[in-house]
Structure 1
Amino acid sequence: MHRELHLKMRKNFFTVRVTTYWNGLPREGVECPSLEILKNNLDAILWDDPVCAENSKLRHVEKDVLIPQIMRDRAKELCSDKVQAFTKCCQETGLLMVVKCRQENTALKDCLVGYYSDPSFYEECKAEYLKQREEYRATGIKKKRQKFTPNV
């Protein structure tokens, strides 16, 4: 009885649980230069799908949070003249901004919504995100997003 209990406990040890999976990894998984790169490329390594590491398969957080964040940042940069006009109006009018800055607010909303609803703009931002993700998965180093400067 004691021996059987001991064997059942041993099945839960980390080394027993992980060894089989580690030995089953392909060569490129075992020889990753760092743990970060292994973590980032694990799906491609396990499923032997080279496209998986850089393809358009996006997680929900990427579709719903990360790409829209890039869209918001870029749209604000592209509508910077309207953002500045609205900010200036708000600073000059104080509490009356709700009434006096309606025109600037409407212009800013129209500009931003125009970019948010543009499918080609979404695809541009998605391509930018996929490029950043690919670089991160290859290097393990997160790159800071550069400011987009529109041609003036």
Structure 2
Amino acid sequence: MESFTPLTAAIGGALIGLASAILWLGNGRIAGISGIFGQLLPPAQSVLWRAVFIVALVAGAWAAARFFPELGAGGVEPARLVAPPTGWNIPMPIWLVASGLLIGFGTRIGNGCTSGHGVCGLARLSFRSLIAVCVFFGVAVLTVAVTGIV
């Protein structure tokens, strides 16, 4: 958190909001990444826009990291994975697989992810999204309190 800058956070948030609004207005779709990605395999009826969105999402993140490295989460240092908590004796691959599976199950059960509920759902004043976001943040706070990883 020592590299937090409100200006870059505000610009990033504005770009996320703008992208969500463009997708909603131009395509009538909510920018929930788990829903967009989740319907690529097996292919849904409309695969092209989903594939283009995911490729552009990754390309945009890559371009920003490549051309503006000082804006990243670690400042000029490249971002790196956080190690599992000391004393838990969990190897990094197991830690990543368990985390990914929990996120995947959670987004499926919750009918959306943080981007779908947090950005788009709250903007549409969805009560279900408000509950989901409160749970996301509550679990995040609890996780930080238990693991000590910030």
Could you tell me the TM-score, scaled by structure 2's length? Answer: 0.32
Larger radius of gyration: 1
